[in-house]
Amino acid sequence: MEWLTHLANSTSHTTNTIRAYLSGLKYFYTQETLRTPGPFSSVAVDLCIKGIIRLKAPAEKVARDIKPRSIDITTAMLSRVLTLLQRNPFTPRLLMMWAAATMGTYALLRPGEFLGVKQNHEDGLPVTAITFYSHLTENIEVSLPPANHPIERYPVPVRYTIQLGITKADQRGQNAPHPVAARVAVEAMWRWLHHRRMGGAQGAQLFRMPNQPALSKAAILDWLTSLLRILEYKNFVLSGRSFRRGGASSYTAMGLTPQQVAPAGRWSSAAMVNVYSSKQSKAQRAAILSSAM
C-alpha cells in the first residue's frame, strides 16, 4: 500500500502506468508462486486504485486537453501529400518513403510489420515479399522491367501482394499474401522497386537505400509530419497506429461495413474496425449519407 501511495503522489506516473505496474506484479506473483489470488488482489488494493484515479483525474484531463492529438494517415491525406510531392521530381529516397507510406495505409499495416522494430530494423520486409500481378483476381505474375529500361514504357500492374510472414496476430506466419490494389500504392511500389534495383540496392530489405540504414518508423513519421505542417495541419502528432487507423478510417468513410473492412485489417472480429476507425471518418460517412437523403 505504501508503494501505491508513493506512485499516487508522483507526478511522473499516470493512472494507466500504475495499473500496468500492478498488473505486471500480479502476473509475476502468480507465475512464481502458482498461487492466486495474491497480495495484490484484494479489496484494499482495488479501493486504493479507485482513489488514485479520482485523485489524478483532474490533472490528467488537463494534460489530455493540451496534448497534440494523434491523427490518422488516411488516403485523403496521402492524396494531398502526393500533390505536394509532385511539385518537384521524385528522388529515389522520396520514392522509397512514398511507397512505404502508401503501403502502410492501403494495407492497414503496423510499422513493425513492414519496417521492422526499433530494436532491429533488419527485420523489415524483404524485397522478395512483394509480388506484382496483371489481373485483379487471376494470379498472373508480372516481373519488373530490365534495369536499363525506362519504367514509363511498361504498364503498371493491377495489384501487388505482401507476404508478411510472422506478425503480432499471426505468430506462425501462415496468413495468405496480403493484397494491395489501389493504383497510387501499386504505382509507388512498382517505381520504387525499379529504382531500387537501378541504384544498386544492397541487402534483401525492401525499404533501404544503398549504403544507408534501413528506413525506420521514426524516419517516415518525421518525414510525413514535415509535409503535413507544410499543408497547414496544426497541433497533431503521428503515431505507430496512424497508418492502420488511417486505412480503417478511409474504408469506413467510403461506406464499407465493419464486416467488409475486417479482412483488409486481418481482424478476425469486425468489432475491431470500430476500435480503429476514427470518429471523424464516421462523421464524414454520416454527412455523405445525410446529403443523399
Contacts for 271-276 with beta carbons within 8 Å, 24 or more apart?
273/248, 276/241, 276/244, 276/245, 276/248, 276/249
Which band of pLDDT confidence, cut at 50, 70 and 90, is reported for residue 121?
Answer: low
Nearest in space to 179 (alpha carbons), one of 139, 215, 152, 216: 139
Q: Which three cell numbers mark 150? A: 525506362
d(Cα 99, Cα 19) in Å, to the nearest integer?
39
The domains found in the chain, sorted by start residue, are: 2-67 (no CATH), 75-261 (1.10.443.10)
| pLDDT at residue 293, as a whole number | 45
Q: What confidence tens digit (pLDDT) does each residue in 135-171 have?
A: 998 999 999 998 888 899 999 999 999 998 777 666 6
Residue 18 has pLDDT above 90, yes or no: no
Alpha helix ranges (H) inside the chain? 2-8, 15-33, 43-66, 75-85, 92-106, 111-115, 183-198, 217-230, 242-254, 258-261, 271-276, 279-291
Nearest in space to 224 (alpha carbons), one of 98, 67, 96, 70: 98
pTM: predicted TM-score of the whole model, two decimal places: 0.73
Nearest in space to 190 (alpha carbons), one of 136, 129, 145: 145
d(Cα 268, Cα 81) in Å, to the nearest integer?
32
Which band of pLDDT confidence, cut at 50, 70 and 90, is reported for residue 34?
Answer: low
